[in-house]
Structure 1
């Protein structure tokens, strides 16, 4: 049986104390992941790095939205389809596309879309994998392996917490579709390492084809 290390959101914007979406003790977790790779490199057959990659103007960012007074919402604010219909929150562009997304999000997740501070902006230092982790990943790759990169969140009109698909699948945005090749690659022994709040990681294992995920989890 092959062993794959699946590292999720181990990026500077989640792991640095002064960053926009810092998670307490994330830098300690990063050290643990780095030591795991260094100590078990010969036993690891594959490493997958799932990374948030966003535009500045992303539906998940506060700057994407304004109220009637031109003010941006506070981080953690839920944005409801009903509020957008009434003009209480105004997206900077493509209102109908945004409304369609919000309606589907609320129907499929039974939750409301939440906005955050800008984070993991494409090409930025904040989007980079924590250096001590990346150093060990590179050393592992130099033993004769390829690093598998999975980018999520590049489509600016949908939230994507998980690596497998966006919270709402958008027909004309392939990056939001279910990533079946990734699931097939993980038909092996998996070690998860992630850096984000607990709720999204539960969603990662829950959405999509529910039966497949349950079967996959029993192999851990």
Structure 2
């Protein structure tokens, strides 16, 4: 018996409605996703709206969601990204969920990165002590000069866990690390509050976004890809594609590029990017992606779309504001050929969006 042909993808001009289960007022809250209820609803939704399985997509569209986790996106959590409005990540995720639902038929796969940490890492307070044995406060910047002077030194307790008890080696590495950040034009070494702790609730995806990802997976028969980053104790990992520092003072490896993810992202006909924070993990991920694109084929930059209204910069009132750095990064990406777009604009109005989608209208 012949297998029936898949239904045609709905025209771009008739974007899908948002399912009734989506509750905008709950985007900033923690709750359990009702998987057993949503799964059959997603299957019925696909049938009702003639949504084909993702395997039949003639244009493959990837949606890269960077660190859309409770630790960054729920008010009151460790590193909530409030942005200029004070509710940035919540507002971003409300728009993001609606974008996923409206464009369900055209998103081939969702790739979600997860910032992943444990207690003893170079950017957490426990790693450092001053002359009195006190740990630095969160948001403290530690320079190479301060490590040389002894203003900040490695907590001796770290050596037993990270370098088989060799404190001298770990102290030398810490200085090397701060120097490499400064030489490479990176952000300085920042002490962050404990966040995205592996196994903790902060590490989990925001429930509303997780629900949208699950609904997409069932409706389109498309397995989402979850990418963990940041587990190396001796380097920050803002970018989902590469840690901040790759080698130690003697050339020994500290971390490595995620080559398989880089290849996967560059295989999409269009790649849409959103997440948190615009000034840090989003900016550094896109920067690393651009570097890979320029090394391969600079024209590939035109395939990348940055959802400007689904990402916010780090802003800590009275302490630090990275809005200017975020804007400068996005301006550089646009100058290289990437597109700054809004989630509320239809895909067919986006510049350079793959023509087969538009031709179906």
Per-residue CA distance 1:90-109 (angstroms, 9 max, x = gap): 22232222222222222222
CA 1:70–1:29 in 2, change beyond 3 Å: closer, same or farther?
same
- Between the aligned partners of 2:173 and 2:186, the Cα distance in structure 1 is 19
* More off after superposition, 188-197 vs 155-164: 188-197
TM-score with structure 2 setting the length: 0.57
2:264 aligns with one of 182, 185, 207 = 185
TM-score with structure 1 setting the length: 0.90
- Between the aligned partners of 2:93 and 2:180, the Cα distance in structure 1 is 35
2:235 alignment partner in structure 1: 158
Once the two structures are superposed, the pairs formed by residues 50-65 of structure 1 within 5 Å of their partners are 50-65=113-128
Per-residue CA distance 1:18-44 (angstroms, 9 max, x = gap): 111111121121122122222222211
The offset of 1:128, in angstroms, is 0.4
- Between the aligned partners of 1:31 and 1:186, the Cα distance in structure 2 is 24
Tell me which of the two structures has the higher relative contact order, counting C-alpha pairs closer than 8 angstroms and 6 or more residues apart: 1
- Between the aligned partners of 2:136 and 2:60, the Cα distance in structure 1 is 46
- Between the aligned partners of 2:223 and 2:215, the Cα distance in structure 1 is 11
Q: Determine if contact 1:23/1:197 at 8 Å carries over to the other structure.
A: no
Once the two structures are superposed, the pairs formed by residues 1-220 of structure 1 within 5 Å of their partners are 1-24=59-82, 25=87, 26-92=89-155, 93=158, 94-109=170-185, 111-143=187-219, 144-170=221-247, 171-173=252-254, 176-187=255-266, 188=268, 189-207=270-288, 208-209=291-292, 211-212=294-295, 215-220=299-304
**Which runs of 4 or more aligned residues in structure 1 lie more than 6 Å from their structure 2 counterparts after TM superposition?**
none
The offset of 1:216, in angstroms, is 3.4
Unaligned 5+ segments in structure 1 are none
Aligned length: 218
Aligned partner of residue 109 in structure 1, secondary structure: coil
- Kindly report the root-mean-square deviation, in angstroms, between the aligned alpha carbons of the 2 structures: 1.9
The structure with more radius of gyration:
2
- Between the aligned partners of 2:211 and 2:262, the Cα distance in structure 1 is 26
